[in-house]
Structure 1
């Protein structure tokens, strides 16, 4: 969870108890939970609105699909798969045959 291990969580809880005190900590935890629920509801609402505006073709759209890193990664993987398929279907040169040479490429 966010790259935070058990030791780090224990340290955060210890510091929170010292800073806020054991009396205010449950109230702050409740407020944090409410904020997380509201943020999740807003994200779901935005996702549903985007899906509705884009139409039925994008019914399975997720917000993480809009992350630029995922978009680039997906396109690179697709290009690599296309290249593998293309290379597999290309004819192999016969013995003694020279590969094509592009003067403009070098």
Structure 2
């Protein structure tokens, strides 16, 4: 929410409840939020206790698919599966930059050095001209 949204919401609450009942409404809302937090913490503890001691370190955030894969397949850090290498091999930005330079008439040197730089680049698994 933007600051303007918060300001408009605050003005609407003051107009709706008035300055006399506003402290009482704020107390009720904060009490409700405390009850919701306590309920969610109790539910988390119930799930942990029902799953057993091997799941005592379970966090609901760990169940998100991306976090789960990162934690269990990639061992939390590093690139165990070579994903960065695959990502860089499939990234057409280097070829597109070279093509843009060629179209704009900018040369990076002799043709031999360009072919040498192409040979050093990783081979792509697809043909960029047909995709």
Task: Name the TM tier (shorter chain).
Answer: 0.5 to 0.7
* Map of 2:9 onto structure 1: 12
CA distance in 1 between counterparts of 2:53 and 2:69 reads 26
CA distance in 1 between counterparts of 2:61 and 2:28 reads 26
User: Do residues 39 (structure 1) and 32 (structure 2) align?
Assistant: no
**Which structure carries more relative contact order (alpha carbon 8 Å, separation 6+)?**
2
Structure 1: runs of 5+ lacking an equivalent? 88-106
- Deviation at residue 76 of structure 1 after TM alignment: 4.5
- Deviation at residue 5 of structure 1 after TM alignment: 2.7
User: Do residues 64 (structure 1) and 24 (structure 2) align?
Assistant: no
Question: TM-score, structure 1 length as denominator?
Answer: 0.62
Deviations 1:15-52 (A, max 9, x none): 11111111111111100000000000011101111111
* CA distance 1:16–1:8, shift in 2 (3 Å): same
* Alignment RMSD (CA, Å): 2.4
Larger Cα-atom Rg: 2
Question: TM-score, structure 2 length as denominator?
Answer: 0.51
Greater percentage in helix: 1
Any runs of at least 4 consecutive aligned residues in structure 1 with deviations exceeding 4 A, and if so which?
Answer: none
* Map of 2:81 onto structure 1: 83
